[in-house]
Amino acid sequence: MRIIRSSVKSFLLSVGLVLLPLSAVAAVSVGDVLRMADSAPVSRGEFIRAVVKVLGVTGSDKTVLPYRRIPRDLEPQVKAAFAAGALKTFGDELFAGQPITRGQALEVTVALQHLTAKPATQYRDARATDRLAQAVQVAVDRGWMVPRSSVSFGVAEVLTGKEARLFLRKVLGEGGEQPDATDTIPTVEIRFTPATPQIKSGTSELPKAQILEALWKIIEQDYVHEDKINADDAAYKAAEAIVESLGDPYSTFYRPAGSRAFQSRIQGEVSGIGAQVEDRDGVLTITTPLSNSPAEKAGLKPNDQILAVDGKSLQGLSYEEMVDQVRGPKGSVVKLRIRRNGSEFDVSVTRDTIKVPEIEIKWQEEIAIVKLMQFGKLSETDLRPQMLHIQEQDPKGIILDLRNNPGGLLHAATVVASNFLPKGSGIAIIRSRSGERTETTEDEPTVDASVPMVVLVNGGSASASEIVSAALQDARRATVVGEQTFGKGTVQEVLEFSDKSSLKLTIAEWLSPLANKIDGVGVKPDVVVPTAERDEQLTKAIAILKSKRP
């Protein structure tokens, strides 16, 4: 079996995904500009930014774009591509957040390089327009992409992170089979053969390998119920047992189906009841009901324990098995047995597919209330322009509401904090067996330092939420109000195997900029205000900000 260490290491906390760049690099490379997971879809905006940067295409700030809602930090690349006539494939509206297809990526790239070719005719799906046909032929002639079959190129398929990086490396003439030397996180392949028990130089052999091999041979030869021998199931159970032996609830081996479900969750689309959950001592526990989700509408709360689904107990099941029981087709109703504060009751929830929102901005008189539901792509691209707009309105205070925010991308957390802290400010200390590094902000603040701030947190604030609240608290930039946060301060790396199973393994711990421990502790508010029927936490935050007015 071949193990492929993902070209994007994932800095994961229990209820959020945080991507951890391991080192800074000086030059722009494919790895610099396309950092999503291998299997993640690449958005149109992400691809345009990447291809324009790596090809060195420039444009004029005076270019007028016909599109709506283009993030400010994406405008220079979109203007350059538009001026080059490379965005015709998208029609009248760009929709930068939508996934880009293989065919669209080809059309953009070919147009930026002003390449032409005799239109291809052998691929049935490449005849929609002359532009598409020419782009496909250029890709075939130059070996940029591999057709899906002799009659279909696969132009309508969504471009994934791994394929996009490989494609751009080939466009740059770098071969593409090996990672760019300047990638922040290299791809490592580890090959297994029966004669080579070690997985990596310097590591020990599989414990009791000879016993395990002999055990399996005896079962294959002598077990009376031969039809019940399932090699794949046995191997997966062995892998699960090895990881479970660590006693770490955040390290998990995923079978292929579970791995696909996990990747789906971290891409920001949640199916089922719309709640972030985790395994706490064998009990499926809700950490955060997502905003406006079926779970929230049904009255489910953080720390609710799900004991049974449609009358079937979840006891003894693995985490993925418990989650699969809760999930189901959109529109179907599931009855959950809930335990809350020692009492048990049933709740019926209508399942749905939920796209997780990220940013919501409201005003209370002259105070801006910025609520973040998670730390994802929108927090990376859209928040800074919105904060600049808030600053232009001369706010008398800002409330950053991170309550029930389960976390997300480390870079998004860094971008969020950069709005309020000086450039180069520490965000988190990352400690692993190989050393220690500090994550810092890369941009100038959008909000004047004189504008007072309050951060709202509670027990559902986790991972990236704790990173931001701790950083602002350590820097004395904001008053933290609410309840003790979740307390998840370990780092998980995700590795995918060649059979599409995967391993999520704890590899490091993060601390606040002042080296305060977060894991198992959380962030303690400066002003503790318990959750109540009325939003006393928000009321207190407004009162604090009004008291700081000159």
Q: Give the residue numbers annotated as catalytic, written as ranges.
A: 463, 474, 488
Contact 335, 348 (CB under 8 A): yes
Q: Regarding beta strands 453-457 and 435-440, do their DSSP bridges make them parallel or antiparallel, or are they unpaired?
A: unpaired
| Distance of alpha carbon 550 from alpha carbon 239, whole angstroms | 62
Q: State the residue for tokens 């791994």.
A: 162
**For residue 20, how many C-alpha atoms fall within 13 Å in the half-sphere facing its CB?**
30
Nearest to 277 by CA among 268, 269, 288: 288
Q: How far apart are CA 248 and CA 239, in angstroms?
A: 14
Q: How far, in whole angstroms, is CA 285 from its chain's centroid?
A: 21
Token duo for residue 254: 């995923």
Residue 158 bridge partners (DSSP): 101
Task: Please state, in angstroms and rounded to a whole number, the distance separating the CA atoms of residues 314 and 80.
Answer: 54
**Residue where the block lists tokens 């520490």:** 426
Q: Where are the alpha helices (DSSP H) in 356-407?
A: 377-381, 383-392
d(CA 524, CA 520): 12
Which is it for the CA torsion 538, 543, 544, 548, positive or negative? positive
